[in-house]
Structure 1
């Protein structure tokens, strides 16, 4: 692979990460480099990554050996993530992520973990700094501590990773298997929620390992999480590795279930969010004979970028609509029915429960179809001046709208 090294974007304990560009295709990628004599962890990472193909695992692009400034370097070429790591994202968001964002990242991390564990690989160092944020979502990276295991037999290998993210059994030097990754995920969720590593009171790695391995305590679960979030985290932070849920089990937890789309009811037809929803693009809209339709004028009015003069001139094209607006009571009723409906039509202070306000049907003593117009009333109420609009040509004359706070 013929490539040119760019600026340094990261420095670790055993390797340096730089930008690189292919001299053939122009593709930008990341190169992780270490001196050839100290490149064991890069060889381990290369051996594992070269066999993996998962959307939630950083992509492997090749390796080579180069001589630069008299130094012989081993180079591992990887996918480049311009947004950086999950820890960077937490800092950009002010030190904590929203629960919906945490849920999304947690699901993606678990999908990567499930894939690794199904292939007999333990990551051994899951934390915010080792998770990349890309346009496709979160991806597991930095496999320098990763190892292959044979089923549930983890062997007598050296324990490695970040002390504050280690599981109790790993801190005691006993084993570091699939459940240890699940514990580290729980610690990473705490990092997403608080902007801090777990065990914030621990001041040095030695005391931290002792506290994690032998105290019997677990990291504090953030109170800001929902009940489901706290329950999910408790499944990750069981001190007994046999009691911890697996990655596959956690993916079925209710905390990670897909959320139903939330439709917030608009306060008025001028709510900008209502007219900005993409779902409206597939709806059938009535074709207006006016080149400047009412829908478009309402959208422009909600955006606040139309002058009053043009607005007033254009509203006239909808001649089939009757609009009543006033600072004092105006009654539009047939003469012989005025008295029967006076009390009900003027009750604007109880708009939330009145049969005449909002959407509804006529429950009066006579048929609504006997009237050309629905009983209308405009008056001053506690909220503001109110506007009632009715279309006499509407197919269903019992269907009407109440609009408020327009002026």
Structure 2
């Protein structure tokens, strides 16, 4: 089994010396902890909990969140480049970091000061791992149709229902859970921080996935799960807004993962093309191969700039929901195309497990599905365009929406 080459250093624009040091630390962890383990873990479908403990101790599970609670207080443009570096070595780990950060979003952004002081230090300290519970077996891309319920009973809520496709489902220490507390539709959904191990929580068997096998994914059932009422985040009925806000940031994490995965595939294919000879020449000298590599490099650079553009909007407090959908759409479609082409560069060698590009191609497919399928991203973008057009027309005519 060939271990992929350590990722080449990308020339990055970082806002501080601290950010440069953080990327250097990430690369050291990639070389020392991730690359030596990834092939065996993916082949065995083994969840690398010890790796997440190491990342947590290094502060990489809490980078975007405040120092006050144990976070790194790094801007999105830095955090996402860390995620990209991790994805170049091990997509399952990078996605796990993104999911954990997503799972902390509700408490950080919608919790009371008392809730944050009580729970955030543990969530951000690297000892605990989170899961995000939104999708349901019958709902898929329609979370407004969710059936999981949370019924108020005095000073507690009683939760019943089932969530599907939950990353870290069997191993999570806490869940950011969306459940119905009121009327049908999005306005009846509330958000809760549920401790793992609470009686009545049961994870299903691990899904047998095409790729990213080291990342455990399962259904999670909640049967008469009783939690204190103070574990609700925000007011009743605000859960859908909390979920969508978290997904905006999560989509940028997936975009960064996609860029890192595609870069890893290009790294392997370019090195192979510089050493493989055919018809008396290096195959990198053949136009058919060199153009595939050139196109891949261009697409990767473009997708990287798109997710960084969305991140900069987030960092300065501008709306970024549409831009996050664009970044997720473009970056993940790019990753699917690039990994497929890089398999082609290696030819027969690309189709066997001696090289990791066949795994990269299998893994890329998942990125087009998670955090909202790419069809949903197109819907989000189209609705934004319609809204902008309608608002422009109203301004021109003096009408109101």
> When the two structures are superposed, what TM-score results if normalisation uses the length of structure 2?
0.23
More helix by share: 2
> When the two structures are superposed, what TM-score results if normalisation uses the length of structure 1?
0.23
Q: Give the structure, 1 or 2, with the largest relative contact order (CA under 8 Å, sep 6 or more).
A: 2
